[in-house]
Amino acid sequence: MAFLRYQTRMMYQLLFWAGLSLLVGLAMLFPAQEWMRAFGGMTVAWAVVNALIALFALMGIRRKMAQNADPATVAKWIHQLLRLLWINAGLDVLYIFVGGGLVYWNSAQPTLNGFGWAVVIQGAFLFIFDSWHAARLPKRMRLKQE
């Protein structure tokens, strides 16, 4: 089923990002600068959350693949995913503002700077990821939802 293959690719992309974030975050836990340790810790936390989201989604996709879903059910799944992606894109903008707020709230505080920049970067990636996939779901699939 094309839609579920597309969704599977999305989740593997998110897992790749989580893995990359985990590596960068772990590497940044050890420098002497406090802001880098804060950045690394927050990045590791986001990596774990993103990986869990992707893994749970992949389990759900496997369950859906085992069904012999009719076109109406697939159209419902597509609609749900599109709605979720657009809601997440809106939340991602909020994350960017929260991260920016942490940076500028007390710019002399290295821990807040590290946390803030990590949140900004994760929010920016997730905004691009969510809005890109929401806009790019194959047109054929998007038409099935209507």
Domain count, the chain: 1
Query: Are 49 and 21 in contact, with CB atoms under 8 Å apart?
Result: no
Could you list the residue range(s) of the whole structural domain that residue 63 is in? Answer: 2-144
Question: Any residues with CB less than 8 A from the CB of 20 and at least 6 apart, and which?
Answer: none
Q: Residue 110: how many CA atoms within 13 Å on its side-chain side? A: 9
Spell out the residues 6+ positions from residue 105 whose beta carbon is closer than 8 angstroms to its own: 112, 116
Helix, strand, or coil here: 1?
Answer: coil
Q: Which of 84, 69, 76, 80 is nearest to 144 (CA)?
A: 76
3-state secondary structure of 128: helix
Is residue 38 a contact partner of residue 110, using CB atoms and an 8 Å limit?
Answer: yes
| Mean per-residue pLDDT pooled into runs of 10, the chain (146 residues) | 91 98 96 92 98 98 92 90 96 97 88 96 98 82 50
Tell me the two tokens of residue 42.
């927050």
Given this model, what pLDDT does residue 105 score? 87
